[in-house]
Amino acid sequence: MNAAMLNEVKWQPVCSVDDLVAGSGVAVLLGQQPVALFWLPEQEPGLFALAHRDPFSGAEVLAHGLICDINGELTVASPLYKQHFRLADGVCLEDAGVSVACWPVRINGEQIEIMG
């Protein structure tokens, strides 16, 4: 990443803590990019941000997927074709050559912020 790109990357507020649903996902926008936020308050880390678009179907659905623990890895199962994407890095468990974008995310006061 060059210096100009680093200057453009910053924490951007996308919603408030009150918008989150524990143990589930919600869809937000990071600029024009749909993002799926998952809040698991009993985990550390407990907040994850992945692309909302399912790469297998092209539909914006991942925030509506089921959160699963598969062999100790937290994942979200796409509601369409059921592929599992790791919350930590967006890699598909069924096809490691496929992944979705993921971003650093944090709680800052009452705001949820994504680095983008």
In the predicted structure, residue 73 carries a pLDDT above the cut 70: yes
The rounded percent of the chain whose pLDDT value lies above 90 is 89
**Mean of the per-residue pLDDT values of the chain:** 93
Q: Three-state SS for 86? A: strand
Average pLDDT of 60-80? 97
Closest CA to 25 of 79, 64, 51: 64
Residue 9 pLDDT: 77
Q: Does the pLDDT value for residue 111 go beyond 60?
A: yes
Residue 8 has pLDDT above 70, yes or no: no
* Separation in Å, CA 78 to CA 25, 36, 70, 81, 94: 12, 11, 14, 6, 12
Token pair 């659905």 is at which residue?
A: 61
Contact assessment for residue 85 and residue 63, using Cβ atoms and an 8 Å cutoff: no
Tokens (6 digits) for 81: 């074709």
Establish whether the linkage from the previous residue to 45 is cis, with ω within 30° of 0.
Answer: yes
Q: What is the mean pLDDT of residues 45-55?
A: 97
Question: Per-residue pLDDT averaged across 18-42, rounded?
Answer: 96
Residues near 1 by beta carbon (within 8 Å), at least 6 away in sequence = 9
Instruction: For residue 50, count other CB atoms closer than 10 A to its CB.
Output: 26
Residues 30-59: what's their mean pLDDT? 96
